[in-house]
Structure formats: structure tokens, C-alpha cells
Chain A
Amino acid sequence: MAFDPSLIGRCYPVAGTYQVGREKIREFAEAIGDDDEIYRDPSAARARGYSDVIAPPTFAIILAFRAQQALLRDPELGLDYCRMVHGTQSLRHHRPIHAGDELATALHVDSVRSMGGNDMLTVRCEITDCAGDPVTTARSMLVVHHSDAEQDR
């Protein structure tokens, strides 16, 4: 099933905001095995010029992923989550995310295309702070394999 080209340009804003907490940053840092104190100790973060602990560069995927879930649940797309693989990911940080941030996310569908038995969907999440200033732009290319293509693997 190819994606409907009319999806391009659609925007799916995430309801509510995401409160970035110190313990969530610590949990994420532990899950990626990073022991840098800047993720755990507010005084260590302040000594390095930040107002509070900052998040690892890929932390923003938590927000992007939540936004994608809303899209994937859209019955119009009829996506099978298990058949989806992550093709590419880019994260552009306009500033570091830190504890205390209250962030909003809006997902934009940038492109859809089909190639070699795969459907590809490129989405962009714009993450902004409560002042509306840009924090992170997260671009993901998601690939859905057709079941007939799987027989060739």
C-alpha cells in the first residue's frame, strides 16, 4: 500500500507540552550508558554554563517519537508498526534541551514516495519552547516494507 501523496504538507501538532525533567534525562543517559555528570548534576551543568542539566543529543527523539505515534495511529494511513523501519534520522539543535524546558512538538509530513517495494515517509518534527523559539528540528525517514518484497530477502 503506497502512501497517499495528499499527506504531503499535513501537520499533526501534538496536544499539550512535554515537561523535561531531571530524572528523565538521567534515565535516558543511563539507558545509553553515558556517565557524563552534565546529565545528572545541576551544579556540574551550571559550572559548564547551563542553567540546569542538559539532555544528550538524541534525547529529542522521545518527543519526535511521540509525535510519530499520533501519525501512525491515523487510520487513514493504515500502517503496520512492526513492518516499519527507521531509514534515516537527523537532529538539528537550535539550542540544547535542558531540565525545566516545556516543549511543544508539531509533526509535518514532508514527502512520501515508493521505491523498490518500499514506501518511504519523511516527517519533520519542529520542537519549540514555551516562548515559541525553535529548540530542535528532527527529520525522520520511515520505511515500510511490502510483504511481497520480503520474500526476496
Chain B
Amino acid sequence: MSRRRRDEVAEGDELPSLQVRVTRADLVRYAGASGDFNPIHWNERAAREVALPDVIGHGMLTMALGGRLVTNWAGDPGAVVDYSVRFTRPVVVPDDAEGAVIEFSGTVARRLDEGTVVVAITARCAGQSVLGQATATVALA
């Protein structure tokens, strides 16, 4: 894989979409890898105590999965120079094998300059948007 070239990209291009299933096991693994052991991400009792319907996924895991959409397309994770999101709704992850499915899509929203583009990302779970104003700035070859 190599970095996507500027002459291969136009405004309006759609990125290949990505669908990711997230289970409780994935949340535990992400907690360990990231160091975020907030119990609302693995303990139902803790989640309900703060009025959440159930355990919720780490916002940063959703952001990281959305990052995969961009780095796969860009061909080089080092091409992502800026990545920003707003966490609009929690991803509720039930204690079963199905977990939650998050669907990511992306579009080349605008060209900042010849070699730099902004990708707008959407993330949906259970029919609702879970990220808002999610954009990645990608430096092209």
C-alpha cells in the first residue's frame, strides 16, 4: 500500500464504507489498550447509576474505527494530519454476541490545497448518527 496521490482524488469522491461489530469483549480489549477503564464501558451497574440504558462503547473506539475508514483509503496512516469528531450519541453495547454494529462512510468534502483534502465521515449505529462534525484532513502524495 502507498499513499493516495493528489491526481487520484476529487471533491465528492466516496470512500469505501466500513461496517464494524463491537461487542463487550472489544470494549474490554480497547480499555486495556487505551488505558481508559471507566466502568461505564464494561459494567452495567456503573452505567445505570449514571442513567445510561446499558454499557456504552468508548467514544474514542468509535473515533478509532472511523480512522480506519480514512487510513485504509489514504493508504498511509501518517497521511492523516488532523482528525476531529463530536460524540453525539452513545453506542449502546448489549451483553450478547451481536453487540452493536457501527457503519462508517466518508466523502471527500473539499480540497484545502492541491495536496490536502478534508474527508467528512459519518458513523451510524442502530439507525442513528453517533459522530457529528467528523472530519479528517489528509495529506496526499
B-binding residues in A (CB < 8 A): 27-28, 30-34, 36, 38-39, 48, 50, 54-58, 61-62, 65-66, 81-93, 95-96, 145, 150, 153
| Contact assessment for A153 and B51 in the assembled complex, using a CB-CB cutoff below 8 Å | yes
Interface of A is mostly: mixed
A-B contact pairs, 8 of them (CB 8 A): A30-B29, A32-B61, A48-B2, A57-B67, A89-B85, A90-B85, A91-B83, A145-B51
Q: Tell which of A30, A57, A65, A83 touches B83, judged by Cβ atoms closer than 8 Å.
A: A57
Which residues of B13-44 are within 8 A (CB) of A? Answer: 20, 26, 29-30, 32-36, 38-40
Q: A32-B61, A57-B71 are contacts. A90–B35 as well, Cβ < 8 Å?
A: no
State which of A34, A65, A89 has its C-beta within 8 Å of the C-beta of B71: A34
Contact B30 A54 (CB under 8 A): no
B95 within 8 A of A: no
Asked if B86 and A150 make an inter-chain contact with CB atoms under 8 angstroms apart, the answer reads no
Chain B residues near A39: list those with CB within 8 A: 77
Give the distance in Å from the alpha carbon of A148 to the alpha carbon of B72 in the complex.
Answer: 44
Task: Report which of A57, A82, A87, A96 forms a contact with B38, defined as CB distance below 8 A.
Answer: A82
A56 touches B77 (CB 8 A): yes
CB proximity of B73 to chain A, nearest CB, Å: 12
Asked if B64 is at the interface (CB within 8 A of a chain A CB), the reply is: yes
Give 13 new A-B contacts, CB below 8 A, not counting A90-B83, A96-B78. Answer: A58-B63, A82-B38, A82-B40, A83-B50, A86-B59, A87-B87, A88-B85, A89-B85, A91-B82, A92-B81, A93-B82, A95-B78, A145-B51
